[in-house]
Amino acid sequence: MADAVTICECFARDGLQHEPVFVPTATKLELLKSFTEAGFKRIEATSYSHPQRVPGFADASEVLAELPRQPGVAFKATCPNPKAVQRALDDLDRGAGADELSLLISASESHSQRNLRSTRDQQWKRVSEMVRLAGGRFRLVGVVSVAFGCPFEGRLDPGRIVEDVVRFAELGVDLVTLGDTTGVATPRTVADLFGRLDHARPGLPVVAHFHNTRGTGIANAVAALDAGCRHFDSALGGVGGHPSKISYGAGLTGNVCTEDLVSLFDEMGIETGIDLDVLASCSSACEQALGRPLHSMVARAGFTTRPA
């Protein structure tokens, strides 16, 4: 039996938060439906960010209400604060909520204040309150941003990242995501951090979330795979990164391209559960939705078909 990974498709949330123009709700729903048809079992659908700060997700409740629900497919929403979790609970009570919630922590003080408008200590208190409010009604995903380096403080002590992951685990989250927010990770730093986490908290599912800012995203994904990681985030076309009004970071701040990651894993004999033909159609639909060519190499060159 081939080794297997789970890839969470992040186009509709982490991807679209970078877009300055609102993508119509109907278009989002069409794309989300196509992602389920491609075989993704985890899909990041939207964010409960404040509509004035991130207007691209002003339709979060509407998207969640109309999602193409299928057995075995989990849709995730991002929650930056307790008010966001309360919105998620209200939607769930109406029968139209998310299956998973992402709860955010920045590994650096500077990034926390810039991105979450709170100190790390304040944000941890918020996260604790969010877990309490969620009350076991969602699968919870803890997210550690700038886990491999901060645009303001540079490289961070890996021990701090381990402490953040362990703290999330002690709060009872189901998965923890390591975010390489501005694409500064290398295969060596990835291997080192995943090794530390395996020693500190064996058995905890850790999600690798790499950005391709410096062209190292795929290499870092392979390093994570070799270190035992079996959960990955990516976005079709490599879109995304920080919200468009945030000025730090430069170049292509977006995620690892889903097309390229799935293609590589498929060539390596790693089972993803993704239908390559449907994925190619999803890739084209994402480019049409944003009105421009995106950054996937495979979208240009095509998937390679391995002999049966």
- The residue that leads in pLDDT, 120 or 246, is 120
Buried b (16+ CB within 10 A) or exposed e, 129-146: ebbebbeeebbbbbbbbb
Which letter, b or e, does each residue of 180-211 get, where b requires 16 or more Cβ atoms within 10 Å of its Cβ? bbbbbbbbebbbebbeebeeebeebebbbbbb
**Per-residue model confidence as pLDDT tens digits over 194-238:** 999 999 999 999 999 999 989 999 999 999 999 999 999 999 999
Q: Is residue 1 pLDDT above 50, yes or no? A: no
pLDDT in tens, 17-39: 878 899 999 999 999 999 999 99
pLDDT of residue 53: 86
Confidence of residue 243 (pLDDT cuts 50, 70, 90): low
How far CA 97 is from CA of 81, 100, 129, 152, 199, in Å, comes to: 17, 9, 19, 36, 35
CATH topology of domain 6-301: TIM Barrel (3.20.20)
pLDDT for residue 248 is more than 70: no
Beta bridge partners of 222: none
Alpha helices of 184-308 — where are they, by DSSP H? Answer: 187-200, 217-226, 258-267, 276-290, 297-301
pLDDT digits (tens, 9 = 90+) for 76-115: 999 999 999 999 999 999 999 999 999 999 999 999 998 8
Q: Measured between alpha carbons, how far is 78 from 13 in angstroms, rounded to an integer?
A: 8
Residue 279 has, within 13 A of its CA and on its CB side, a CA count of 26
Amino acid 18: pLDDT: 78
- pTM, 2 dp: 0.95
Task: Pull the structure tokens for residue 134.
Answer: 């969620």
- The domain locations on the chain are 6-301
**Residue 307 burial (10 A CB sphere; 0-12, 13-18, 19+):** exposed
